Chain A
Amino acid sequence: MIQIRGLLKSFGRRPVLQGVDLDVGTGETLVVIGGSGCGKSTLLKCVVGLIPSDGGTIIVDDRDLRSVHDEAERSEWRGKFGYLFQEGALFDSMSVWENVAFGLKYMTNMPHSRYRRIASEKLALVGLKDVEDLKPAQLSGGMKKRVALARAIAASPRYILYDEPTTGLDPIMSDVINNLVLDLQKKLGVTSIAVTHDMKSALKIATRIAMLHEGRVLAAGSPEEIRESRDPAVRQFIEGRSMGPIGAV
């Protein structure tokens, strides 16, 4: 379980997160929606410990991130999470299978000889085969996302964080990724947080949705509750209107 209370983060004088409170139950997929630049990706990076928060608490499995001090503890903390980056963030210099197996070397005690087989299994899980020896530059956008997803789940994390999983993909490939997220949820039973501004994707994969606005959680509830919300900002966002309380930047 992930518990976030009063999370604060500013970049210079610009406040991004101004007291975010969120709970993510075990086995749940929480989708955080909100406009561009509202702090969704920052929230994920604070949770995984990639950027330090300015205040508030993040508790995962009853452990507070503030109690994590040295490098070994930080590494152990990050090892709980699989992270799907917005653009995939695949290592250009490595082949697909080396990308997928990368974390196994540092996060598991698995013998080296099993890396390639595990990588192929994870790639099959995301619907890819015969791509093991290709380089990331030889893959399409959708394939890169799937390889990145295979890499995120390779070391069997308890939590998966998705940063804009469908951004930059065509509608069909977006649906493929949405189905994969749902499949992984069923097969692996992991707890997930996804951030997106793609409402179709959010409504499909979420067990719960929270909307972030002006650095705080504006509304949270089941996909149906969010869809039926009467809050003007939520309505503006899900209907995709430029006029309303959320200013277009």
Chain B
Amino acid sequence: MNGFLDVLGRQVLAVSAALGGLALLVRASFYWLFRSRLELRQTLIQMAKIGADSLPVTVMTSFFTGMVLALQTAISSQRLFNEPLFVGTVVSFSMVMELSPVLTALVVAGRAGAAIAAELGTMRVTEQVDALLTLGTDPVRYLVIPRFLAFMLVLPLLTVLSDFSGTAGGLVVSVMRFGIPENTYWHDIIDYMETKHFYHGVIKSAVFAFAISFICSYRGLSTTGGAEGVGRSTTGAVVASMVAVLLLDYFASSILVAMGIP
């Protein structure tokens, strides 16, 4: 029993310390965000790394997800109504409000988030982070803020591209497999979708961007223990980011619905 409580206590303390550290990192980032010149070059480099490098895998993931959604929706509605109805509506709503923001965030967390944790972790264990401090630069200002801004700009953009890609995937299956006219598919979307549905997904992706950028930066900067520590930080950053995305998805959706942004 004592052993169990000991382990439980250590876990609670570790999680509390991590959350406290994360909160301090967020505070320091906002301190520097409004008090220092923007590291434009670093921000553009990070945007390229996060955005351009994640684009193919994001587009492919959402395209196939859209195809599967169309397939399942068409088959289900054929069973119920003897014809595939509202396939465009189901695919586009599912993609825009839920699947695009979540899948894109998970893909980017696994790819760009891991890269951030590994890069910052390596910089930490090779004393490059300390070197920044001795050269008059705060690591939060130079390393974290460009990554945070890049995530905040790029993840919503990737989500929008994913919306289009998923909808296009659904169109391909609808037209080629079920013979639904292209016009019908598009009308099913246009007749029911409003701008606020679109905002719902984009706002959620910004929330995910905030969480992933800080979690991965924090895990990277708090790395200890050489190469093994970098590996541990990278895995921990990806797992924590993915869990955070799934948890935040529910709470962000609830809040947005309550605010009338369905």
* A interface residues with partner B (beta carbon < 8 Å): 45, 48-50, 71, 75, 78-79, 81-83, 85-87, 89-92, 102-103, 106-107, 151-152, 155
Contact = CB atoms under 8 A, between A and B. Distances in A.
Contacts of A50: 130, 133-134
A87 B127 CA distance: 8
B98 to A, nearest CB: 37
Contacts of B40: none
A91 B137 CA distance: 13
Contacts of A79: 136
Contacts of B72: none
Contacts of B137: 102, 106
B127 A89 contact: yes
B136 A89 contact: no
Contacts of B77: none
Contacts of B176: none
Nearest to A91: B128
A136 to B, nearest CB: 10
Nearest to B135: A103
Q: Which of A71, A81, A92: most chain B Cβ within 10 A?
A: A71
Contacts of A106: 135-137
Nearest to A154: B135
B78 interface: no
A86 B127 contact: yes
A91 B131 contact: yes
Contact of B130 (A89, A92, A107): A89
Contact of A75 (B31, B131, B138): B138
B126 interface: yes
Contacts of B135: 102-103, 106-107, 151, 155
Q: Which of B130, B136, B137: most chain A Cβ within 10 A?
A: B136
Interface residues of B, number: 12
B131 A85 contact: yes
Contacts of A78: 133-134, 136
Nearest to B122: A92
A34 B134 CA distance: 24
A152 B31 CA distance: 28
Interface in B142-184: none
A89 B138 contact: no
Contact of B136 (A85, A91, A107, A152): A107
Given A83-B131, A87-B127, A90-B131, 19 more contacts: A48-B134, A50-B130, A75-B136, A75-B138, A78-B134, A81-B134, A82-B134, A83-B130, A85-B131, A89-B126, A89-B127, A89-B131, A90-B128, A91-B128, A92-B128, A102-B135, A106-B135, A107-B136, A151-B135
A83 B130 CA distance: 10
Interface in B92-131: 126-128, 130-131
A145 B131 CA distance: 14
Contacts of A92: 128
Contacts of A89: 126-128, 130-131
A86 B128 CA distance: 11
Contacts of A155: 135-136
A85 B133 contact: no
Q: Which 10 A-B pairs have the closest CB atoms?
A: A106-B136, A103-B135, A107-B136, A89-B127, A89-B131, A83-B134, A85-B127, A106-B137, A89-B128, A50-B130
B130 A85 contact: yes
A13 B25 CA distance: 26
